Structure 1
Amino acid sequence: MKHVRRWAAAAVLVLLLAQLLTVPAGAAKLVAITFDDGPNQTWTPQVVEALNQRGVKGTFFMVGSWVATKEDLVRSMAEQGHQIANHTWEHLNLTGLDAGEVRLQAERSRERLAEVTGQKNFWVRTPFGVRTQTVLNNIDSPLILWSQDPAAGKQVSGEKMARSVIRNIKDGDIILLHDSTQDNLDAACRIIDALQPRGYDFVTVEELFRLRGVTPRNGVIYKSVPPAADPQAYDENRLESHWAWPAISLMEDTGIMTGDEEGWHPNRRLTRAAAAVVLWRAAGEPQARRRADFLDVPKSAWYAEAVAWAEEAGVIKGTGAGRFSPAAPVTRQQLYVMVDRLLDRGSVSVGTGEVRSFEDSFRISGWAREAVERIEALGFTSRNDRELFRPQDPATRAEAAELVAWYLGVR
């Protein structure tokens, strides 16, 4: 009986720990799940169905010559948001091939995938991960390899593959599987079902690079995209190529958001003080009737007038004990709530348009969900939100610029 009680107590402890692990903590943990050697008439549709049921987008490295008779499947996968990628034309071992032969393998496959999907760019993964200098010089693409290979080229059960990935997973990993067997399908389902509750979000390889602010270069090998040591850093010489450049340019022209002597800092986190000032300027710099009641807002602070208006208008509220915490970062869902409070609620209802369902929609807090859905329904679509919403990530200046630029067009 004592043993039974001990096992029961242990089971309860495991359940409690599992519940704790499901609580998101800070920025999203991102991983990409990829599949080689397709399309397969039997297994690829089942893998796609399993991913869709879980709200996950995968990356499929396809052999160009194997697309024949499966064009509708490949086209549908692309339309659903899965990333189609290039696994060469014939799945040959490229070791020892000359430059022309390597180029032919990559180009013939790229042309076939483009013909079927209407897309242009297809990142390459070579069969067997071959990475000779001849390959790197002639594929005209980044070489996308992997950091998690649970089968290591052997016949391994789905349970064993999943256990290996779940035990060793790291933020930014690229997982290698194949859409060609039942074991790989089982592994994919087990991996996703185990890691999503632990705060991992599954994205395409392209999305992984973009959300991490990394621009892959042709002829360079990539095995993972871990979080940057300084995620707020950005090369200001490349500002016009930033995904939010149109909004950034508008913010500069209107004076709502400007840079400093060192640059515009698009990836820098937006603080509560900065958010108050930006929204105050976007609203036309209205005059507040009184000072802010917050204890930590000095009358001489550069953000004092904006905070006084934001509090009075209900755009920004304290975090308890009458404090404002000006240096605290604003999360993405908080930013949506603030902008939603600026909107004229009497003019448009929440249900006027389509509300997207992100893979991580379940992570949006209840108090923020209506605001997020309302802004989506009003027609806002971020260029940086294709698969994930990342509600608890700190909002960046670029993300704020894009949302405020939209607000200026609908207010």
Structure 2
Amino acid sequence: MSTRRKQNLKAHMKRKKKRRLQRRIIVSVSGVLLFLLISFLYLNYNKPELIVIRPRNVEINQGEALPKLSANITYAGKRKKRALGENGYTLSSLLSDLKKGKHYELVFEGDTNVDNKYPIHVKFTEDFKNLLKNQYQGKIELKTEKGHVTVLNSRGKWQSDDKGKRFLLEDGTYLANQYLNSQGQLYYFDSNGYMVTGDVPIGRNMMHFNKKGAFEKRGELLPLDPARPMIALTFDDGPGSETAGILDTLEKYNAHATFFMLGTQIPNHPDIPGRMLEIGCELGNHSYGHPNLTKESPESIRTQFNQTNQLLTDVAGSPATVARVPYGAINGKVSANMTLPAIFWTIDTRDWETKNKDANVAATLQGAGDGHIILLHDIHKSTAESVEPIILGLYAQGYQLVTINEMAKAKNITLEPGKSYHIIQ
């Protein structure tokens, strides 16, 4: 064989070998690609179908009833006919049930009486949790998101400028010299309508507000200023089940009040009179059994007051320093047999009749004046609920909240036994 022929044969064998190698590579790559394609299709076909449940956001005013909550159900896939269970139950069936609110509830975590932004959570039923864990596992994936309920302040809205924060009321004016309950915190605005921070004298208190303006604590009790107006809150017919809560509120704001107590009530709440004294309140005597004293004998009148004073001395270590006759019924006979000043009232809130928080607040704030005595009853829940807004409203009007004797002393008035006082000026 010639040299040339040998060279041609060698080149031919080389090309043939190369083509075989190329075919092997193509077959191998094709196999890998086919495997990947099959795997992709398999995994894609069998992957869980993603469903998203997101509660719809709600916006209401303070105090409004919460409307029925609902949710958006989102599915972006294309396999609604995918079987999930027996009897032809498909993904489409499940989506329909979810849109109807089945298999879950929407849980609101908040207070519609307090302005703030509160979350709404999705909570599945126990039966549905079991289905997700067993029958639907690997077929569907449920993702839940949070919705929100925004409770708007019924009085207005917050605003800010380069001087600080203000609160715009519904009538277009700014809150000034007043407290504001907002987002579960208590704020105060100065005479220019700006939120205060730090230590600020309000009423008889040095009040401390943090850097964000929220009230944190009472500071020192400021001495009475005779040049500033003062007013006396008085409570009759207790102590009762609401009295302790009223004392909590008075203590919170360092406000003093006078309690005219019935002897029949004192054994039921023996710790209350002592606490009254501890927080600066005054003990008053409202007789033992609340009779019309004008129809009683002189001896009975004295007994009614003496029995109550003895009970107060037994439980609190001190008798009453002022008295109030039941029903406001007094005559010469009653006056002559009283050893304490007879305290009446300037404003009768009629809380015993209306049993309405807002009515109590309006009656007090609209009629308030220097030296006035306010009549309330600490045995009614509605009265207890009105004490805080009454205190804050009176502070906003510049009043010092004092006991009967504190007010008399500040005004250089000597209270006389048996003498009637409807106002102290």
In terms of fraction of residues, the more helix-rich structure is: 1
Give the TM-score normalised by the residue count of structure 2: 0.48
Give the TM-score normalised by the residue count of structure 1: 0.50
> Greater Rg, structure 1 or structure 2?
2
Which protein, 1 or 2, shows the higher relative CO under an 8 Å CA cutoff with sep ≥ 6?
1
In terms of fraction of residues, the more strand-rich structure is: 2
